Every structure is written in C-alpha cells, then in structure tokens.
C-alpha cells in the first residue's frame, strides 16, 4: 500500500497509555493519515534509570498496545541505538525513507508549548506538519497563542486537534503502580500484564 500521508507519534512511552492511542487514532481519522508510526525514544545513557523502563521494554509495550490496529506501526529507529536521538534527526531519516509521503508529527499540548527547546525547531516544523492535540492541564488559549506565534515565526501551518480530555500521564501510571493502585483501563491489558510480569515501576 502506498503511504500518502504518514503520522508520526513520538514519545517516551514509559509506559504507553490510552491518551497516546487516542491522539494517534483521532489524528489519523481527522487528517486522513494512511498509517501512524509510533517511535519510542531511546534511553539517555546517564539519566536516572529507576523510573525509566529500558528501551526494549518500552518498545515491546508499544507493540503490545498497538498490535490490534492495522493502521499503527512501531519503529525501533530510536530504541535500537545506544545514543539518544534528536527528533529532527529521526524525522530527517524518515523523510528519506518515506520520500513520497507527507509527514505529520502528532503531539500533545505540552510538547507544542516546549517545541522551541527542541533541536532545530525551524527544520522540525518544515520537515513535517505538526498536529497539536489538547491535553488536560494545558490552557487552550495558551496553546492557540503558541500555535499562532510558531506559524508566524516559522511560516508553517500547525494543525490543531481537540480530543475528549484524557487526564492520564505515564507519570501518573508509574506512581499508581508504585503505590499499589489499579491501572486497569488506563492502558490496554497486554501492557498491564507485561508491566506486572516484568515487575516494572516498582
């Protein structure tokens, strides 16, 4: 199948949860994306690893969460290397691999607010179209103002996606596991089983 429009969903996915899956699927529908590729980030070599599951576990959980959706794919382009990759470099590689596809990078409100701290914002915004999804805790007016500012400064359109608020973060899931609270329905069952079998986030 020819991929005309490719969605890219980057994240630490530590672990992946319903919020990630919902913004990916609703972006796919709204912007007519043929596929969405999930790309878990690599592990920074010097970071405190305690709360960060290793790259392979995060990659496997991402596969477990997405395997029932034919339009979702998972890439190990960042998790299979020792060094952490910058998003802009990953997108450059993807734009070469999928040179006939239009690329869309799917993010939540917090990422779009932070985007000027990422390496080479100008190239990032021009290599793909950013989609900014609403997220609880992030004021809609601030996000809209940021979108307008970025559009003007970098002369590139940014798309906006309103989703039903999902007040879930990976941080919250890790905390709940640590405290012995249930995480059922916050992420798909195969991910939950994997977390318990591997004793992650304890």
Q: Could you list the residues that contact ligand ATP (CB under 6 A)? A: 11-14, 19-20, 23, 107-108, 110-111, 133, 135, 166, 168-171
Nearest residue (CB) to ligand ATP, 75 versus 170? 170
For residue 177, give Cα distances in angstroms to 70, 171, 195.
30, 10, 9
Nearest residue (CB) to ligand ATP, 61 versus 154? 61
Q: What is the spatial distance between Cα 129 and Cα 157, in angstroms, rounded to a whole number?
A: 7
The residues, any chain, with a CB within 8 Å of residue 69's CB and separated by 6 or more, are 25
Q: How many CB atoms lie within 10 A of CB 116?
A: 15
CB of 95 to ligand ATP, least distance (A): 19
Phi, psi of 83 (to 5 degrees): -80, 150
Residue nearest to ligand ATP (CB): 108
CB of 19 to ligand ATP, least distance (A): 3
For residue 50, give Cα distances in angstroms to 78, 106, 201.
20, 27, 8
CB of 26 to ligand ATP, least distance (A): 10
CB of 8 to ligand ATP, least distance (A): 11
Nearest residue (CB) to ligand ATP, 4 versus 144? 144
């Amino acid at each position: 199948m020819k991929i005309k429009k490719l969605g890219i969903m980057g994240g630490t996915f530590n672990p992946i949860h319903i919020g990630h899956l919902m913004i990916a699927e609703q972006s796919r529908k709204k912007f007519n994306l043929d596929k969405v590729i999930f790309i878990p980030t690599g592990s920074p070599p010097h970071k405190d690893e305690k709360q960060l599951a290793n790259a392979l576990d995060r990659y496997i959980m991402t596969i477990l969460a997405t395997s029932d959706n034919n339009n979702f794919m998972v890439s190990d382009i960042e998790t299979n290397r020792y060094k952490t990759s910058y998003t802009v470099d990953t997108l450059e590689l993807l734009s070469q691999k999928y040179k006939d596809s239009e690329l869309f990078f799917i993010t939540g409100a917090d990422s779009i607010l932070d985007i000027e701290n990422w390496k080479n914002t100008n190239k990032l915004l021009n290599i793909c179209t950013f989609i900014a999804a609403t997220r609880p805790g992030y004021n809609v007016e601030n996000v809209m103002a940021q979108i307008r500012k970025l559009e003007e400064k970098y002369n590139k359109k940014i798309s906006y996606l309103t989703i039903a608020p999902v007040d879930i973060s990976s941080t919250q899931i890790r905390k709940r596991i640590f405290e012995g609270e249930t995480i059922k329905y916050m992420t798909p069952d195969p991910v939950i089983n994997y977390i318990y079998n591997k004793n992650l986030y304890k």
